[in-house]
């Protein structure tokens, strides 16, 4: 039985600190670099399946992750690893493209699989001085979930008949005995097939072409336009 890794539909609840801009002392200058810390409280460590965010004028993004590592001695300790290095969010840092875009990162985008991560640091770069501020918004981390790939088991009542049928060579009389009072199964299945054909046909013939009507029940009497 193999297991397939899928992404949970619910994002993890995590605490995200506002971006810390890199500076020297209290002086204000445009360093073009900021860090957002994201920690996953009460979770220990998680395997990340997906990260989504909305850009807000960040040109490049690096992600550092704090992961559990096991040394040769067998001791586990935490260490910072680079997950993503200078991913381009805005192709031209001076221009708008990508500045407010939606981004999704999958494990395949990372240098190393984002497994047993306990916290993340987003390092934001904006070399262009054209923008007053930059950050990332709506950061969501989705955990990876292992799911068994086994197909749902067939209920036993369905299997039983099957097994019984397999044991006897001539199933027909037995069937008839069992289905006394019911219409002939062969006859029924032929009709069912026809029914299936009809539904199939109607399904296929549903046009996706718009009929082009703009009125409601033949009425298109309007006085004013709506502002909403």
Partner 1 sequence: MDPKINEIAASISEIVKKLNGSTLYSQLKRAAQKEVEKPTASLATLKTDVVEALKTSGWDRLLRNKIFAYLSSCQASLDQSLPFECQKEPLMYMRKAQANWERRILKSMNSMCTELSIPLARKRPPEEQRALLHKWNEMGTEEPDLSHFRPVYAPKDFLEVIISLRNPNYCGLLGPEVDEKPSGGHWGLIQVPLEIPKLKDLQNQFSEFAHGHGHAGVDDNLDVPSEAFQNERNKIAKKVLDEKRSVLAQYFCRNGCPSGHRAEIWQLALGVTVNHLDVLKYEQLKGYVLQHDLLVDSLIYKDVKLTAVNDDYYFVFEDYLYQVLLVFSRDTSVLNHFAQSSAMPPKSFIRAQKEPSGTSAEQESSLTEAIPVFDVDKLTSPNQSNFNYTLIKSKPTFPPHLGICDDEGKLGQDEYAVVYPPNGVIPFHGFSMYATPLCYLYAEPVGLYYIFRQFYTRYFHRLHAISSHPQGIVSLCLLFETTLQSLHPRLCRHLQEIGCQPLKIAFKWLVRAFAGYLATEQLLLLWDRVIGYGNLLLLPILAVAIFLFRQSNLFLITSASGVEASLADITTLHVVPLIQLVLFPT
Write out the residues near partner 1 by the rule CB under 8 A.
56-57, 91-92, 94-97, 99-102, 108, 129-134, 206-210, 212-228
Sign of the four-CA dihedral 115, 64, 111, 59: positive
- Closest contact distance (angstroms) between CB of 101 and partner 1 is 6
**What are the tokens at 111?**
């240098």
Q: Give how far the C-alpha of residue 6 lies from the chain's centroid of Cα atoms, to the nearest Å.
A: 8
Q: Burial letters for 158-183: b for 16+ Cβ neighbours within 10 Å, e otherwise? A: eeeeeeeeeeeeeeeeebeeeeeeee
79 CB-near residues (< 8 Å, 6+ apart): 66, 67, 69
DSSP-based three-state secondary structure for 63: strand
- Closest contact distance (angstroms) between CB of 17 and partner 1 is 21
- Closest contact distance (angstroms) between CB of 189 and partner 1 is 25
144/6 Cα distance (integer angstroms): 6
Q: Quick one: 60 or 121, whose CB is closer to partner 1?
A: 60
- Closest contact distance (angstroms) between CB of 87 and partner 1 is 13
Q: Quick one: 48 or 116, whose CB is closer to partner 1?
A: 48
- Closest contact distance (angstroms) between CB of 55 and partner 1 is 9
DSSP-based three-state secondary structure for 67: strand
Q: Quick one: 56 or 119, whose CB is closer to partner 1?
A: 56
Q: Quick one: 140 or 171, whose CB is closer to partner 1?
A: 140
Q: Quick one: 187 or 215, whose CB is closer to partner 1?
A: 215
Q: Quick one: 45 or 52, whose CB is closer to partner 1?
A: 52
Residue 178: C-alpha distances to residues 59, 64, 164, 187 (Å): 72, 67, 12, 16
2/146 Cα distance (integer angstroms): 10
- Closest contact distance (angstroms) between CB of 207 and partner 1 is 4
């Amino acid at each position: 039985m193999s297991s397939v890794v899928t992404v949970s539909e619910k994002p993890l609840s995590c605490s995200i600190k506002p971006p810390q801009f890199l500076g020297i002392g209290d002086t204000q200058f445009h360093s073009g670099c900021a860090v957002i810390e994201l920690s996953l409280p009460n979770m220990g460590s998680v395997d990340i399946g997906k990260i989504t965010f909305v850009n807000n004028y960040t040109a490049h993004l690096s992600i550092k992750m704090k992961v559990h590592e096991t040394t040769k001695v067998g001791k586990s300790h935490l260490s910072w690893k680079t997950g993503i290095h200078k991913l381009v969010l805005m192709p031209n840092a001076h221009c708008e493209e990508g500045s407010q875009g939606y981004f999704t990162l999958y494990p395949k985008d990372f240098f190393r699989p984002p497994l047993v991560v306990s916290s993340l640091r987003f390092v934001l770069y904006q070399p262009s001085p054209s923008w007053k501020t930059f950050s990332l918004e709506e950061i969501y981390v989705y955990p990876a979930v292992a799911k068994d790939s086994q197909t749902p088991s067939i209920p036993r009542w369905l299997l039983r008949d099957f097994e019984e049928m397999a044991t006897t060579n001539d199933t027909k009389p037995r069937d008839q005995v069992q289905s006394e009072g019911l219409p002939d199964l062969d006859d029924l299945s032929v009709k069912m097939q026809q029914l299936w054909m009809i539904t199939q046909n109607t399904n296929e013939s549903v046009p996706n072409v718009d009929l082009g009507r703009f009125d409601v029940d033949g009425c298109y009497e309007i006085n004013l336009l709506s502002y909403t």
